[in-house]
Amino acid sequence: MNHPTPANEETLVLYYYKDGLSAAELRAIERELERNPELAERYRRLALELDGLAEPADVPMPEGLEYRLQSTIARAARLEQQDQPKATGWLHRWSFLAGATVTAALALGVGIGIWVAGGPGHAPVETVPVVAQPSPQWSPAAFERGLETYFRTSRSELAGLEGGEGSDRASLANAMLQQNRLFAQLARQNGAPELARVLRSFEPILAQLGRDDLSDEDVAALRAQLEFELSVMLTKIARGSSQDTKPNTQEI
Amino acid sequence: MVTKTKGQAPPSEAEFQQAIAQRASRWYSACLRITRNPQLAEDALQDALLNAWTKRHQFQHGARLETWIHSIAVNSALSLLRKQKPGVFSALDDEVEDPAPSAEQAHHHEALNAELDSALRNLTEVERVCFVLRHLEEWTLTEIAIAVDKNANAVKQAVFRAVRKLRERMPTLARTPS
């Protein structure tokens, strides 16, 4: 008979899952289990043990994750509803929040050190030339510079995409997404969850921008929206820095 | 539960929000079991939701939205794991087990079934992923093979090794009452 040796535990594992065996093999094992009490007992124990490996309880989600996920969908839905890029109410509200949180995070100081490499002006859209890594050294000023460089470089790269290939756009969007997550992670790990949330709120735009089925109008609208957001962030950072040194001369 | 029937429009934003409220914890847990990294699990979930939203017109009527997103989330976790650790599924004979979890990871893992979690930590990455997908996610061996870009026999061997190790390292399983 051309079926696996019933005594083989591996065969019993496959029998337990009813997977990886032919119908003939399954029937053969069933017959063997009926007439071989020792094998039936071994299978009963195996099945009991595997049944015992039931799905563990759900893990509590990190604080704020559910809200962020809901915001992500809400924002993605709003993005789709917008025919043209414009400074709508939610955008203003978000930008205000972004500015406030960036400023707050910088004022409080996030215990982050980063190093910044590269800069705008190079042609290929392979990666966003800003790299941030956690460091044991405390350096909110470096974090500010890193964020600023990231926003500025991204804006420059976006501008350079005009008339470019869709693959370049997807590549840039993906690189920005990864970089954005890195900054968000650094912010969250260092006590600036609101800044992390704001950075994360870029993701629906970036994800949309990375799609390959967009019309030229859609791309233009998303680009304009993202450039606007980046410009707002840069403005707020500049104001935040200015206010740090001239507390009474600028309004956040 | 959000169940669509034939002729209905794609899932709405409200249905997505409802699914998130009801099932996000389960999706996150599934992603965490695949990646064993809270940050990657979060990213996978975020990616999955955006992906699901973008492709919601492909949602099969009659299916459950939560289940559909769950499946996308697991795939997303696998994808991020591959990006994070290129070649992670290429060394099926690699016997290196997971390193001890970081403090942050340990906090999250406490909530997993402690004994199973501890035992899973003694599996290699490939063994753990294949076992979790086969046993907890109920994927077929063929589906797993496609996901990890291996043949079905290699996946079988990984599952066999995982089961053997888990049975050895979880003595309380043997005392499970019949």
Strands (E) in chain A, as ranges, are none
Does residue A239 lie within any of the structural domains?
A: yes
User: Are B49 and A45 within 8 A, CB to CB?
Assistant: no
Does residue B53 lie within any of the structural domains?
A: yes
Q: What is the pLDDT of residue A130?
A: 42
C-alpha span between A103 and A14 (Å, rounded): 58
User: Are A49 and B176 within 8 A, CB to CB?
Assistant: yes
Looking at the structure, tell me whether residues A122 and A235 fall in a common domain.
Answer: yes
Q: B116 to chain A: nearest residue by CA?
A: A53
Residue A46 sits at φ, ψ, to 5 deg, of -60, -45
Count CB pairs under 8 A between chains A and B. 114
Looking at the structure, tell me whether residues B3 and B80 fall in a common domain.
Answer: yes
CA–chain centroid gap for A36, Å, is 54
Looking at the structure, tell me whether residues B114 and B41 fall in a common domain.
Answer: no
User: Are A66 and B176 within 8 A, CB to CB?
Assistant: no
Domain limit, last residue, from B86, B109, B135:
B86
Mean pLDDT score of chain A: 71
Does residue B70 lie within any of the structural domains?
A: yes
DSSP state of B90: T
Q: How many CA atoms lie within 13 A of A96 on its CB side?
A: 8
Pick the range with the lowest mean pLDDT from A16-30, A172-186, B2-16. Answer: B2-16
Does residue B29 lie within any of the structural domains?
A: yes
- The answer to whether residues A134 and A196 touch, using CB atoms and an 8 Å cutoff, is no
Does residue A59 lie within any of the structural domains?
A: no
Pick the range with the lowest mean pLDDT from A50-54, A69-73, A131-135, B169-173. Answer: A131-135
Looking at the structure, tell me whether residues B137 and B103 fall in a common domain.
Answer: yes
Regarding predicted confidence, which is higher, B118 or A250?
B118
Interface of B with A in 82-101 (CB under 8 A): none
**Sign of the alpha-carbon dihedral angle for A20, A26, A32, A33:** positive
Question: How confident is the model over A83-99, as pLDDT tens digits?
Answer: 444 444 333 434 434 44
Looking at the structure, tell me whether residues B65 and B3 fall in a common domain.
Answer: yes
Pick the range with the lowest mean pLDDT from A45-49, A105-109, A216-220, B22-26. Answer: A105-109
Does residue A36 lie within any of the structural domains?
A: yes
Looking at the structure, tell me whether residues A14 and A77 fall in a common domain.
Answer: no
Question: How confident is the model over B37-52, as pLDDT tens digits?
Answer: 898 999 999 999 999 9
Identity of the residue in A50, A61, A69 whose CB atom sits nearest the CB atom of B49: A69
Q: What is the pLDDT of residue A49?
A: 87
Looking at the structure, tell me whether residues A182 and A93 fall in a common domain.
Answer: yes
Domain limit, last residue, from B70, B86, B102:
B86
Can you tell me the mean pLDDT for A13-35? Answer: 94
Number of domains composing chain A: 2
Does residue A203 lie within any of the structural domains?
A: yes
Whether A44 and chain B come into contact, CB under 8 Å, resolves to yes
Residue A132 has pLDDT above 50, yes or no: no
- The answer to whether residues A52 and B176 touch, using CB atoms and an 8 Å cutoff, is yes
Summary count for chain B: helices (H), strands (E): 9, 0
Looking at the structure, tell me whether residues B34 and B4 fall in a common domain.
Answer: yes
Looking at the structure, tell me whether residues A88 and A38 fall in a common domain.
Answer: no
Integer distance in angstroms from the first to the last C-alpha of chain B? 33
Question: How confident is the model over A198-211, as pLDDT tens digits?
Answer: 888 888 888 888 88
Distance from CA of A31 to the nearest CA of B (A): 22
DSSP state of A58: P
Question: How confident is the model over B61-101, as pLDDT tens digits?
Answer: 788 999 999 999 999 999 998 888 776 666 544 444 555 55
Residue A186 has pLDDT above 90, yes or no: no
User: Are A59 and B163 within 8 A, CB to CB?
Assistant: no
Regarding predicted confidence, which is higher, A70 or B96?
A70
Full domain range(s) for residue A104: 65-245
Query: B3 forms bridges with which residues in the sheet?
Result: B64
Looking at the structure, tell me whether residues A160 and A127 fall in a common domain.
Answer: yes
CATH number of the domain encompassing residue B123: 1.10.10.10
Count of CB atoms within 10 A of residue A116's CB?
18
Residue B64 sits at φ, ψ, to 5 deg, of -95, 135
User: Are A204 and B164 within 8 A, CB to CB?
Assistant: no
Whether B22 and chain A come into contact, CB under 8 Å, resolves to no
Looking at the structure, tell me whether residues B102 and B147 fall in a common domain.
Answer: yes
Tokens 């949330």 locate to A197
Does residue A45 lie within any of the structural domains?
A: yes
Q: In whole angstroms, how large is the CA radius of gyration of chain B?
A: 17
Number of domains composing chain B: 2
A16, A55, A75, A78: best to mutate for the B interface, most B CBs within 10 A: A55
C-alpha span between B150 and B60 (Å, rounded): 28
Q: What is the pLDDT of residue A75?
A: 87
Does residue B177 lie within any of the structural domains?
A: no
Full domain range(s) for residue B45: 1-86
Residue A179 has pLDDT above 60, yes or no: yes
Does residue B176 lie within any of the structural domains?
A: no
Residue B172 sits at φ, ψ, to 5 deg, of -65, -20
- Using alpha carbons only, give the angle B54, A126, B76 rounded to the nearest 5 degrees: 35
Q: How many CA atoms lie within 13 A of B1 on its CB side?
A: 8
Domain limit, last residue, from B36, B59, B86:
B86
Looking at the structure, tell me whether residues B97 and B81 fall in a common domain.
Answer: no
Whether B55 and chain A come into contact, CB under 8 Å, resolves to no
Check: complex ipTM more than 0.85: no
